[in-house]
Amino acid sequence: MSTLELAPRLSADAFRQELFERGLLLPTGVDGLYGRSAVFEGLVDAVDRLIGRLSVGDGAEIMRFPPIMTRTGFEASGYFKNMPQLVGTVHCFCGDDREHKRVLSCSPAEGGWLAAQQPSDVVLTPASCYPVYPIIAGRGRLPAEGWLVDSSSYCFRHEPSVDPARMQMFRQREQVCFGTPERIRAFQSHWMTRALEMFRQMGLPATTDLANDPFFGRPGQLMANGQRSQRLKFEILVPISDPDRLSACGSFNYHVHHFADAYGIIGADGEAAHTGCAGFGLERVALALLRQHGFSPEAWPETVRATLWPQS
């Protein structure tokens, strides 16, 4: 942990209220779903650009996605097996005039206007790396040196909360690496070191720690224990809403050959490739900055401003 002085205590609810009152986030009436002000968007954009500047020399292929992905790609990932509680599906009306009239007259007990909604061929994207895997798999064998993708997308996770750091829709900037186990472990380690330096430059008291995904139910506990014992997931943590419970602003993951098996991603040697990703929750980093340095970015320390806005 850094020796930086922590911001004064503020509950998650009080922090969110302050963000609302200052107009940084705009309430919608649904926990975890907020509008963003120009100042907040400026912060998200600055963090996004900072990540871009740090990684520009990596030679990653840029991929940007809308916040939905194919249902077939989602199903292949196994996400619903592991984290069904977080999933958001997209359902659409596919009926005719008669069916339309019928559902408009349905009572709430009969399902109301939702009575005829059918699952579509897209789902909400749970992580920005997910749409990347089927694309890479579709290209055939990886080059000998592997491949690197710089992805970004709005992501959805159904976990409504008063904690402003736990949004239902948020942006991820995620680097995705394909190759040998050695390459993925080096990528994971490199991004952890790079992230700690990035957060230090932003004046954020960050630390990294072993972590696990929020797997569902009793089987989930087994999955989480397995993930930890193999040291597959690390997070970069910063105090945001609760000084006693740090919030993850980024994670560094080694998937072994899970996604290669799921999507048929083949390495140069003809074997299942190994994959890893290093991602940041952009809104969370923005919130961490607001929490640590105050609600007025123009009053932040010059070193922090120079890191985020090097031209200003």
Partner 1 sequence: MLHETVRNVLRRIDDVASSVDTLGNDADLFEAGLSSYGTVEVMVGLESALGIEFPEQMLTRDTFSSINALVRVLQTLRPATAMPAAGSDAVDANGWPVATETAR
Residue ranges that bind partner 1, judged by CB under 8 A: 78, 81-82, 218-219, 221-223, 225-227, 229-230, 258, 261
**In the complex, what is the shortest distance from the CB of residue 233 to partner 1, in angstroms, rounded to a whole number?**
12
* CA separation, residue 119 to residues 78, 92, 94, 114, 122 (Å): 18, 6, 10, 11, 8
Which residue, 77 or 307, has its beta carbon nearer to partner 1? 77
Q: Which residue has the tokens 């969370």?
A: 284
Which residue, 199 or 215, has its beta carbon nearer to partner 1? 215
Which residue, 66 or 226, has its beta carbon nearer to partner 1? 226
**In the complex, what is the shortest distance from the CB of residue 33 to partner 1, in angstroms, rounded to a whole number?**
31
Which residue, 84 or 226, has its beta carbon nearer to partner 1? 226
Are residues 304 and 298 in contact, defined by beta-carbon separation less than 8 angstroms? no
**In the complex, what is the shortest distance from the CB of residue 186 to partner 1, in angstroms, rounded to a whole number?**
22
Phi and psi at 250, nearest 5°, equal -165, 160
Cα 160 to Cα 62: distance, rounded to the nearest angstrom: 31
Q: How many CB atoms lie within 10 A of CB 237?
A: 22
Quote the Cα angle for 16-151-266, to 5°: 135
Cα-Cα-Cα-Cα dihedral sign, residues 163, 165, 166, 170: positive
Cα 100 to Cα 81: distance, rounded to the nearest angstrom: 34
The DSSP 8-state label assigned to residue 242 in this structure reads -
Which residue, 77 or 180, has its beta carbon nearer to partner 1? 77
**In the complex, what is the shortest distance from the CB of residue 78 to partner 1, in angstroms, rounded to a whole number?**
6
Which residue, 111 or 219, has its beta carbon nearer to partner 1? 219
Strand order in the sheet with 274-281: 61-64, 147-156, 169-179, 274-281, 247-256, 233-238, 207-210
The rounded Cα 57 to chain-centroid distance in angstroms is: 23
Cα 18 to Cα 240: distance, rounded to the nearest angstrom: 13
Show the tokens assigned to 285.
């980093």
How buried is residue 22: exposed, middle or buried, by Cβ count under 10 Å (0-12/13-18/19+)?
middle
**In the complex, what is the shortest distance from the CB of residue 82 to partner 1, in angstroms, rounded to a whole number?**
7
Cα 155 to Cα 24: distance, rounded to the nearest angstrom: 20
Which residue, 267 or 281, has its beta carbon nearer to partner 1? 267
**In the complex, what is the shortest distance from the CB of residue 212 to partner 1, in angstroms, rounded to a whole number?**
11
Phi and psi at 105, nearest 5°, equal -95, 0
Which residue, 184 or 238, has its beta carbon nearer to partner 1? 184
**In the complex, what is the shortest distance from the CB of residue 215 to partner 1, in angstroms, rounded to a whole number?**
9
Which residue, 98 or 218, has its beta carbon nearer to partner 1? 218
